[in-house]
Structures are given as structure tokens and as C-alpha cells.
Structure 1
Amino acid sequence: MRLDKFLAKCNLGTRSQVRVLLKQKQIKVNGQVENQPKRQIDEKVDAITFRDEPLKYETFVYYLLNKPKGIISATEDDKQKTVLDLLDDEGRHKLVFPVGRLDIDTHGLLLLTNNGKLAHAMLSPKKHVAKVYLAEVSGIMTEEDKEAFAQGIDLKDHHCQPAQLKILATDLANQSSRVEITIHEGKFHQIKRMVQVCGKSVTDLQRLSIGPLSLPNDLDLGDYRRLTPDELESLSIFGVDL
């Protein structure tokens, strides 16, 4: 890889900006000052430093986001604020995108990455990746509803795969329920539509986990962070380069 391309991908600036850094002798390759932008380097072997601080080029990056309501799961939109608007410049520079989507009024865990093969593997219906949600429901969910979920609910345009409904709490006075729902697919408004088939309605929906990744307790709404080494290692079950 050309040195100027490597430096740009390390977020030191545009190609023209990093050439200025090279002229200023702020870049070293294997301990030697380098000022030639066309210098070919091996990013996996050569030690590149900026002001004597080591630089590491990452092909793929991964962010966990606690998505708030009112934000759309997209990379750009002319009218609505997107999840990329919540990230720093580095995330946007790496061209990350959300793995799947959460509705604008759904909050919770969202993975953003630029690893297309991982995203495809996690979203593939053949992988049966579990997605767990916490839902507040207007109406009392019943054992019959649990059985309906387990059998697979029929929507107008889709027969849902078997899902798990766990009733966490019911409030008879207010005719409401709190439930945990696990699905293995992700059709449009699927959980809301499944609950609606049972004669109730979802009033709040939060995603708690997708595959091996869970929403951290210390990640505030609207905040994000990089995956930990253990979280990244957990994604190896999908059999793609990370």
C-alpha cells in the first residue's frame, strides 16, 4: 500500500494533508523519517509512526450503539437524523453502516461496521441469529400467545419462524404487560405486527441483543463504543475474517 494512502486511512487527513505531514518529517517508517508519499509499505509488517506514536491501520471497525428513538437506521437521509450522525469522524470515515435496522421509534442495541461479509452472515435467514427484545405492551399477553409465538405467527405477507415469548410482568389494573421476545429473522415491524395479531399493541420496544452481542448496562442512550476484544472474538462464530 502507498504510504500516503495508509496515512489517510489512519485518519490523519486527506491525501494532500498527509503529504504535508510527510514534508514536515513527522512520519517514520521502521524508525526512519520518510517523506515520500509513494513509498510502498506493508501495513501488517512495517512500523509506521506519527510524531513517534505508532499508527495501526484497521481494515474493519465495529461499534456498539445504544440507539435512541427518533433516529433512523440508515447512512444518510435528507430529512431525518441517522445513526451515523451519532458517531465521530473516524466512524464515518471508515464508511460504517448498521447491521440490520431498528425502527425509528425502537431503541437499543445496534451494531455498526464496515465488514460487509459479517453483516451478511448475521442477517442471513439461514444462520437463525437470535435477536432479543424487551417490549411494553398494551394488553395482557397470555399463555395462548406464548404458544402462538412458538408455532409461528401468520402475518398478511409472511409466516414467521417460531419465536419465544416470555411474560415478565402483567398489570391487570392498567391492562398492560412487559415481555421478552426472541426472534430469528427481521421482517418489517415484525414484533409489533406479531403482537398485533394477538390483539395487543407494542407501546415501547428495546433491542437487548443480537447473536452473541448484548446491550451493555453502562452504555447510555445515544452513546456508542468499540467492541471489546471478547465481544470481537465472539463474532468468530460467523466464520468470516474480522
Structure 2
Amino acid sequence: MRLLNVFTMKLEEYFGSQIPGYDILSHCWGTEEITFGDINGSTWREKDGALKIVNASFQCRSRANHQRRYIWIDTCCIDKSSSAELSEAINSMYNWYKRSVVCFAYLGDVDKDVEDEIRKSRWFTRGWTLQELVAPKEVIFFDKNWNYLGDKNTLSTLLSQITTIPEAVLANPPRHRSCSLARKMSWAAGRETTREEDIAYCLLGLFEVNMPLLYGEGARAFIRLQEEIIKETDDQSLFAW
């Protein structure tokens, strides 16, 4: 697992039991994100996307009283030029969010702590952010200026209303296993991904399956997802989807 050191702002790689405690970022991608290639260079701070990296790193440092040194950010911690690495990362991502100490959810289109603005945030419409809400033990929400909005516990009623995810699951993520397959699929209804295949790939962790990524397969990805899920269960509610 590749992590960003929030003091040196350099990437470091760890494996298995050697992986240290880390925070993690959940966000919607913008037009000028800092990539793996950028973060290894010297001019990345000049890009528009740099501020998100810097502010997330600051939150990691300050909230842990300078004791936590690492954060994982998808844009710069995955070498997407490697199909093997990308496949491993997507199949591991739910567990990476689950194992994080704190997840920072950045709502880049919310500029004040108003319930209606939070409800309308694009963050709640994206496929990938579903697992990023469910999996972590602690999720802290920030507005576009990195002002604190609340956390998964204090906002649980609102979050449940927006997403239809039961408050009991938000409070205790493993309880999602007690929900039917159809109910979990319903949480993803209406969510979107940039690439067609990702609407299936973003659900791998929630349904606890692994499968190779085949970009270019289109809608076939969702069929493969269903096939993998049904191997592990006799819950026929899946076929309602």
C-alpha cells in the first residue's frame, strides 16, 4: 500500500503487517487532480488540485496531534498507468477505507453548513463514495473551505435520509452483512461513475467479492459482478437488479 507522508509530502510503500495507521480522503474528482506522476515531481503544488492534497494532509497532522504521519489519497497514491496495480487497488479499496483511522469526506460544492446544501452535494451521487461512507469507522465531513460540517455519527439521521442506508449500518459498518443483497444494491441506485464499468467495480468491496477489471467490457461488468456475488450466497433478491 502506497501512502503519502504528511510531513515530507513524499510517497512511501508498505506491505501487510508493516502498514502504519493512516487517514484517508473521500472526494469527487475535479479537472486538475494531482496524480501519482505529479506527486513525484517538483511542480505539483502549482496545480489547482494541490490545495486539496495540502489541506487533507493538514487535517491528518493536526487531528492526530502530529502523531499520525500518513494519508491515502486515490488520485496520487495509485499508479494508474499499471493495470495490475489499478486492479489490485480497486479490489482492496473497501478494506483500505475500512482500516483507516479517520476518513475525511470533502464536499467541494458545499460552502456553508446548511442541510439543503449538504443534501444537494455531488458527493452523494457518485458510485465510489458509497463504500467510502459505509466502510470507515469514522467519517468527518468538510465543506469546500475545509470547515467542519459534522461526522458520520452526528449527521447519521441526515445521511440515512439522503442515502437510504440505515443508521444502524452507518454506526456499525459490519451490520451491512445483515441487509439483503437487493437492499444494498438499492443504495447504489441513482449513483453514477465516469466509466460504465466502474458502477460494478465500485461495489466489489460492499459485496465482498473480487474479480479482474476489464475496462472496455461495458455493461458486462455488472453481469460479472452478479455472477460473482451469487457464488457466495443463496439470496435471490439480487436478481431484482
Q: TM-score, normalised by structure 2?
A: 0.23
Greater strand share, structure number:
1
Greater helix share, structure number:
2
Tell which structure's C-alpha radius of gyration is larger.
1
